[in-house]
């Protein structure tokens, strides 16, 4: 999986960064991708990364503030011009469907694909979709308007294939190898059943990726972030400005680090920085968080993060 930070700023774009948008590219062979938030000019940012709108399958909107939403109508329209014909589903708070339908009605916009809008009303953490090896949960955060965080959970996959062991069990190289690699049990001509566990070394651990919307400190942030391989958390203000951050429904760098530490996350990426901070000051914000949670990065626009699977060997 790869994550592209298309916009890392809060409130409005500035010369350092665009407003909120994050793309998550799923594994090959399909390499489809999902989008988390769609601030103004997100489709312009996409011109600088190797992602095609025709491969976009899902959009997860955290809340209806403009810096997370104003780029959505244009991007949905452009997807038709870029060859997008497959269905696309947009998830987000109540009012999202009305926003899209009203904008399209007033502008006469027509799409060449099926658009499904699923509004979230859950008051607790809940599963909202399952797509192949990934399922997504959402939960309400603490902000000035209804706002959600999202947790992507990938299932484990069979570990490295041991061809020699398969041959020793009588499996002929060819399609049967492929079925075993895909996690499917096979039956040989003599009736012997060979399971993937017999010819693979453990498993590739499924990744957990949490993307939180704007939030003040809350229990749901910890729940959605539990044991995440990657936590993307807003850090609108520097440490020491907690009162100001909470006034506007946000967090500081220190508070983001506390969530990562106490939730048992493996890695923290901070984003949604106030325009008062230049890119040169991000190192200082990163250092503040690192005092609490060392494995932290302050995201910059158009940066990419490769999220690797972890191999769990078979017990010996």
Q: How far apart are CA 24 and CA 6, in angstroms?
A: 11
Q: Are 218 and 141 in contact (CB under 8 A)?
A: yes
Phi, psi of 299 (to 5 degrees): -70, 145
Q: Is 214 annotated as a binding residue?
A: yes
Q: Is 65 annotated as a binding residue?
A: yes
Query: Which residue in 30, 37, 67, 262 is the catalytic one?
Result: 67
Q: Is 44 annotated as a binding residue?
A: no
Phi, psi of 179 (to 5 degrees): -65, -40
Phi, psi of 32 (to 5 degrees): -70, 170
Q: How far apart are CA 253 and CA 289, in angstroms?
A: 5
Q: Is 246 annotated as a binding residue?
A: no
Q: Is 63 annotated as a binding residue?
A: yes
Q: Is 48 annotated as a binding residue?
A: no
Is residue 112 annotated as a catalytic residue, yes or no? no
Q: Are 131 and 141 in contact (CB under 8 A)?
A: no
CA-to-CA separations, 275 to 38, 49, 206, 243, 288, in angstroms, rounded: 18, 23, 36, 18, 18
Q: How far apart are CA 255 and CA 219, in angstroms?
A: 12
In a 10 Å sphere around its CB, with 0-12 CB exposed, 13-18 middle and 19+ buried, how is residue 310 labelled? exposed
Q: Is 311 annotated as a binding residue?
A: no
Residues serving a catalytic function are: 67
Q: What are the binding residues?
A: 63, 65, 67-68, 143, 214, 272
Cite the annotated binding site for Zn(2+) by residue number: 63, 65, 67-68, 143, 214, 272
């Amino acid at each position: 999986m790869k994550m592209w930070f298309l916009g890392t700023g809060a409130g409005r774009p500035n010369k350092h960064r665009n407003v909120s948008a994050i793309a998550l590219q799923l594994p090959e062979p399909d390499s489809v991708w999902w989008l988390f938030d769609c601030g103004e000019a997100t489709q312009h940012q996409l011109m600088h990364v190797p992602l095609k709108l025709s491969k976009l399958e899902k959009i997860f909107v955290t809340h209806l503030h403009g810096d997370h939403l104003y780029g959505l109508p244009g991007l949905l329209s452009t997807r038709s011009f870029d060859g997008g014909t497959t269905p696309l589903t947009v998830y987000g708070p109540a009012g999202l469907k009305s926003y899209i339908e009203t904008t399209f009605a007033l502008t006469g916009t027509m799409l060449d694909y099926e658009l499904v809008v699923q509004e979230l009303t859950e008051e607790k953490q809940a599963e909202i979709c399952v797509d192949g090896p990934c399922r997504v949960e959402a939960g309400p955060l603490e902000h000035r308007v209804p706002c959600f965080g999202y947790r992507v959970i990938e299932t484990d996959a069979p570990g490295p294939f041991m061809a020699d062991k398969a041959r020793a069990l009588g499996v002929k190289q060819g399609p049967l190898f492929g079925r075993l690699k895909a996690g499917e049990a096979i039956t040989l001509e003599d009736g012997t059943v060979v399971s993937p566990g017999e010819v693979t070394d453990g498993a590739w651990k499924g990744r957990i990726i949490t993307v939180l919307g704007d939030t003040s400190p809350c229990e749901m942030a910890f729940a959605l972030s539990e044991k995440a391989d990657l936590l993307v958390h807003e850090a609108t203000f520097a440490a020491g400005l907690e009162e100001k951050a909470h006034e506007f429904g946000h967090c500081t760098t220190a508070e983001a680090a506390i969530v990562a530490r106490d939730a048992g996350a493996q890695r923290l990426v901070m984003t949604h920085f106030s325009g008062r901070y230049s890119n040169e000051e991000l190192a200082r914000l990163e250092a503040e968080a690192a005092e609490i949670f060392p494995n932290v990065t302050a995201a910059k626009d158009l940066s990419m993060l490769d999220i690797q699977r972890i191999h769990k060997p078979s017990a010996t």
